[in-house]
Amino acid sequence: MKKLTLFELNQKIESEKRLNIQFKGCEFKEANDKIYMIKLPKQLEKHKGSLDFDKKLKSALKNLEAIAGQEIVFTNGEPIELEQPESVSIESSVVDGLIKFSASSGKIRNLPVNSMFRLKVDEALIKEIEETKALNNRLLDELKNDLDYALGLILQFETKNKGLISNYYAVVKKDKKFVKSGDAVNLSESTIQSLVLHINKKYKKAFRTSELPTFTHFKEAFMYGVSGQHIKPLHDAQEVVEQFKAMRCKTILGRPAAEFLTKALYQELDGLDVLIYDYTNPRISAYDTNKTLIANAINNFFNKINDDLAQYISNANARRDLIELYSKILCDYYIKGVQHDLDVIIASNMREGKH
C-alpha cells in the first residue's frame, strides 16, 4: 500500500464522507518520519475517560494506519521528541548512577522508558542496589547469589512493548562500541525482576517483566489493609475518600461507593503489570499499563451484574481520574508488599485471625 504524506492523508479524510465524519476535529503533525495524532477526533474525544476508550482509540489508529500506509502515533498531549542522529552515543540517565540507558538505535533520549540499558556486575552495583532499598532481604540475597555467577560481566538488556524486558546478553567494549561477547549468562527471572525494581525506583523508569515479583496477598492487602503496618484498606485511603467526596458519589447499589469498588477490584483484578515509583512525572503515565488492567477489572465486574459505573459516576473525566488514582495507590500497595515482604506479615496476621 502507498505510504501517504500528511497532506495526502488530510486530503483523503476531507474528501471521503465516511472518513470525514469519523475523524472530524482530528489534528496531525509530521515528525521523525512518522505521523502523530495530536488531537483526538470529536467522536473519540467524547469517549475519553470511558472504560472502553483504549479499545476505541486502538481501533481508530488501526483504521488510520490502513489508510495512511504507515504507523500513526497518538501523543496523548505529550510533546513530540525529535529523534537524535544515529551517531549519538548511549546517554546516561538524568539520575547519577551506574546503569546507562538509551534507545537501541541511539535515538530519543531521556524518556521514562528507554529501549535498552547496560550495567556492569560488580560490588559497586550491589552496593547501589542495597542503598536503593527496593528489595526485601530475601530478594536481595537471591539477587546477590545469582549475580555472583556474572561478576565482572557487562550486561545489556533490550525491551519491547512499553518497556517489557525481551532479551539480555553479555557485551564487551570494542572500538568505543559495545558488542556481544561470547560469555554465557543465565539469570533467574527473579533476578531480572529485582533489577527492574531497583532501576524503576532509583532511576525513575517504568521497565517491566512478564511477571512481577510474587506478592501472594496483594489483594488481601488492599481489601483489608495490613494490621501493624499502618496500611489501610483501599477505600479508607485519604486520597480515595477525597476523590469520592469530590465526585459526590456516596453509594453504589445501596452500599458505600468506595468500598463497593474495592470489592469489585478484589474480585476481578488479578494483579499489576508494572511498578512505578515516580508518579510525579506526567510523561510516565504513558507507560502505566496498570490503568488498563484496573479499568477492565471494573468493567468486567459491572458487566457481570448488568450495570455500568457511568450510572453512578457520570463524568467521564472523573472516572478516568479515579482509575489513575487507583493505579497509583494499588502500585504503592504492591511496592510495599515486595519491599517489606508483607506476605510473611499478612500470613502471620491471618493465622492469628486478623488482617
pLDDT value for 167: 93
pLDDT tens-place string over residues 121-164: 999 999 999 999 999 999 999 999 999 999 999 999 998 777 88
Handedness of CA 296, 251, 312, 232 (dihedral sign): negative
pLDDT value for 81: 54
Q: Is residue 243 within 8 Å of 325, Cβ to Cβ? A: yes
- Please provide the distance, in angstroms rounded to a whole number, between the alpha carbons at the two ends of the chain: 60
Rounded to whole angstroms, how far apart are CA atoms 33 and 80?
12
Q: Is residue 64 within 8 Å of 102, Cβ to Cβ? A: no
pLDDT value for 244: 97
pLDDT value for 114: 59
Strands 34-39, 72-74: parallel, antiparallel or unpaired by DSSP?
Answer: parallel
Q: Tell me: pLDDT of 88 over 60.
A: no
Highest-pLDDT range among 32-36, 98-102, 157-161, 267-271: 267-271
Closest of 171, 205, 213, 206 to residue 189, by C-alpha: 213
Residue 288 makes CB contacts below 8 A (sequence gap 6+) with: 206, 274, 276, 324, 327
Rounded to whole angstroms, how far apart are CA atoms 188 and 141?
13
- What are the C-alpha distances in Å from 94 to residues 13, 128, 241, 245? 42, 16, 35, 38
pLDDT tens-place string over residues 293-313: 999 999 999 999 999 999 999
Q: If pLDDT is split at 50, 70 and 90, which confidence band does 92 have?
A: very low
Of 64-73, 123-132, 217-226, 277-286, which range is least confident? 277-286
pLDDT value for 322: 96
Place of cell 463497593: 260
